[in-house]
């Protein structure tokens, strides 16, 4: 019987272990935490955006970090395959904006617990609180040494995740194991990371989120990237889904030097003329008020002084004293509110780590190392990274599934 040793019980490791067990292997799963799937438990703001309902070719488009490497894995284990499994096990799911799929209960912890139950049901030997210290080969076997002992297997799958959110256990150990066996580690960088900003007003707006805005990033008058969606002001700068997506595009550029300028179009659906007409109507409605109180139907209250300041308009002026030029300055500012980006938060705060074990050294059809027979990789430890929307978890599940079958010695008819 094949004996599969799985290092790390995140999304990828769990799928490896379940799939290998379903295909007849004896499986030992090592996890340094006292629970499995600790990071999974905080995904999607605690709701776990499991996957997306888009086509698998769109998954590749939404994976700027080597999406094509995932082609075979996505053929063998699709979003539908994942959802079929989860539904069969009793998890109800729902679809939201942008095709994102969440558990019906909105509880990532429910998903984590369901996986734990399935691992136990399949007879996987789960070693919690057991940190793996090294992975090596000996006479065609794989040897895993942990804080508690040494284990021998016919195959070993490294699924230790990336370097972000180290409190969840992903501290980069897998890179060290892979490197000690001759693998190349591509530059580790944050992907999907908030930006820091210079202006105090940005920090003061902390907690304010904006929906349906268009955000662009500029360098020396040239537009570098643009994104539509939701953003959030924080005590250090800007975050939220659209900002995270922009970070992925910006950090991928060869030369990315700060400062960069960010422009926020607060009313992207309106032309300048339509917006001007809208402002004129509101000014008519609030004709006896000061201008800062005459824009409350158009903008969140906290944002009004910022817009007026950038437009060079005194917020205390009576609405009926605003000139056409001043009104046009307000329109222009509402469609290009400017702030200065000074950098990103550190890698530890990234949603995903870009870089990792070189895809050139892994067989995409099996996830086996091209350098070391019987050694496999799955999940974020590999040099792949995707946008937000459920694409990263699906990548971990699909690569985990393929590695699980291969490490078990192939598919068994059940």
Ligand X SMILES: Cc1cc2nc3c(=O)[nH]c(=O)nc-3n(C[C@H](O)[C@H](O)[C@H](O)COP(=O)(O)OP(=O)(O)OC[C@H]3O[C@@H](n4cnc5c(N)ncnc54)[C@H](O)[C@@H]3O)c2cc1C
Asked if 214 touches ligand X (CB under 6 A), the answer is no
The residue within the footprint of ligand X, chosen from 6, 7, 157, 405 (CB under 6 A), is: 7
Asked if 10 touches ligand X (CB under 6 A), the answer is yes
The residue within the footprint of ligand X, chosen from 2, 24, 42, 91 (CB under 6 A), is: 42
Q: What is the CA radius of gyration of the chain?
A: 25
Asked if 17 touches ligand X (CB under 6 A), the answer is no
How many residues bind ligand X, per CB under 6 A? 40
Asked if 390 touches ligand X (CB under 6 A), the answer is yes
Asked if 39 touches ligand X (CB under 6 A), the answer is yes
Asked if 398 touches ligand X (CB under 6 A), the answer is no
Instruction: Give the nearest distance from C-beta 91 to ligand X in angstroms.
Output: 15
Which tokens in the block code for residue 296? 């409350």
Which tokens in the block code for residue 351? 């949603």
The residue (of 13 and 294) whose beta carbon lies closer to ligand X is 13
| Coil, helix or strand at residue 323 | coil
Give residues 325-354 in contact with ligand X (rule: CB under 6 A).
351-352
Pairing of strands 222-233, 337-344: unpaired
Instruction: Give the nearest distance from C-beta 231 to ligand X in angstroms.
Output: 17
Site string for ligand X, 119-148 (x = CB under 6 A): ------------xx----------------
Asked if 383 touches ligand X (CB under 6 A), the answer is no
Q: What H or E segment, with its residue span, contains residue 237?
A: strand 237-239
Label residues 306-340 b or e (16+ Cβ within 10 Å = b): bbbebbebebebebeebeeebbebbbebbbbbebb
Taking Cα atoms as reference points, which of 141, 140, 170 lies closest to residue 13?
A: 170
The residue within the footprint of ligand X, chosen from 22, 173, 361, 383 (CB under 6 A), is: 173
Asked if 86 touches ligand X (CB under 6 A), the answer is no
Transcribe 362-401 into DSSP letters. B-TTT-BBSSSTTEEE-GGGBS-B--SSSHHHHHHHHHHH
Asked if 16 touches ligand X (CB under 6 A), the answer is no
Q: How far is CA 199 from CA 204, 206, 235, 404, in A?
A: 9, 12, 11, 49
Asked if 244 touches ligand X (CB under 6 A), the answer is no
Q: Which residues on neighbouring strands pair with residue 227, listed in sequence order?
A: 215
The residue within the footprint of ligand X, chosen from 38, 112, 219, 327 (CB under 6 A), is: 38
From 28-36, 148-156, 208-216, 287-295, span contacting ligand X (CB under 6 A)? 28-36
Which tokens in the block code for residue 179? 């490197």
The residue (of 100 and 327) whose beta carbon lies closer to ligand X is 100
Alpha-helical (H) ranges within 23-157 are: 43-46, 56-61, 71-76, 79-88, 108-121
For tokens 């109507």, the residue is 281
Q: How far is CA 256 from CA 45, 199, 278, 342, 405, in A?
A: 29, 20, 38, 11, 40
Instruction: Give the nearest distance from C-beta 96 to ligand X in angstroms.
Output: 11
Site string for ligand X, 46-85 (x = CB under 6 A): --xx------------------------------------
Residues that bind ligand X (CB under 6 A): 7-13, 30-33, 38-40, 42-44, 48-49, 131-132, 159-161, 164-165, 168-170, 173, 351-352, 379-381, 390-393, 396
């Amino acid at each position: 019987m094949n004996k599969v040793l799985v290092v790390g019980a995140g999304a990828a490791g769990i799928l490896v272990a379940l799939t290998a067990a379903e295909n007849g292997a004896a499986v030992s799963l090592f996890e340094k935490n006292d629970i499995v799937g600790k990071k999974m438990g905080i995904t999607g703001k605690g709701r776990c955006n499991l996957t997306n309902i888009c086509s698998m070719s769109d998954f590749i488009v939404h994976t700027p970090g080597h999406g094509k490497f995932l082609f075979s894995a996505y053929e063998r284990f699709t979003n539908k395959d994942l959802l079929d499994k989860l539904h069969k096990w009793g998890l109800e799911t729902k679809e939201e904006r942008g095709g994102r799929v969440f558990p019906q209960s909105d509880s990532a912890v429910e998903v984590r617990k369901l996986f734990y139950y399935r691992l136990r049901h399949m007879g996987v030997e789960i070693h919690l609180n057991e940190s793996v210290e090294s992975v090596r080969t000996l006479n065609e076997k794989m040897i895993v040494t942990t804080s508690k002992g040494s284990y021998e297997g016919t195959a070993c799958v490294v699924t230790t995740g990336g370097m972000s959110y180290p409190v969840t256990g992903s501290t980069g150990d897998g890179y060290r194991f892979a490197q000690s066996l001759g693998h190349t580690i591509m530059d580790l960088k944050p992907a999907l990371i908030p930006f820091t900003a210079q202006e105090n007003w940005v920090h003061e707006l902390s907690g304010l989120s904006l929906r349906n805005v268009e955000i662009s990033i500029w360098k020396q008058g040239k537009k570098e990237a643009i994104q539509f969606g939701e953003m959030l002001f924080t005590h250090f700068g800007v975050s939220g889904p659209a900002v995270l997506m922009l970070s992925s595009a910006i950090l991928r550029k060869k030369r990315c030097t700060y400062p960069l300028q960010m422009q926020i179009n607060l009313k992207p659906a309106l032309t300048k003329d339509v917006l001007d007409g809208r402002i004129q109507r509101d000014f008519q409605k609030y004709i006896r008020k000061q201008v800062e109180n005459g824009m409350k139907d158009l903008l969140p209250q906290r944002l009004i002084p910022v817009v007026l300041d950038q437009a060079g308009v005194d917020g205390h002026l009576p609405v009926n004293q605003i000139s056409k030029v001043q009104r046009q300055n307000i329109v222009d500012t509402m469609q290009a509110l400017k702030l200065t980006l000074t950098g990103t938060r550190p890698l530890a705060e990234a949603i995903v780590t870009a870089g990792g074990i070189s895809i050139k050294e892994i067989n995409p059809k099996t996830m086996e190392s091209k350098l070391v027979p019987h050694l496999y990789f799955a999940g974020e430890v590999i040099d792949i990274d995707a946008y937000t929307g459920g694409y990263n978890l699906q990548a971990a599940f699909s690569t985990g599934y393929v590695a699980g079958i291969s490490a078990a010695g192939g598919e068994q008819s059940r």
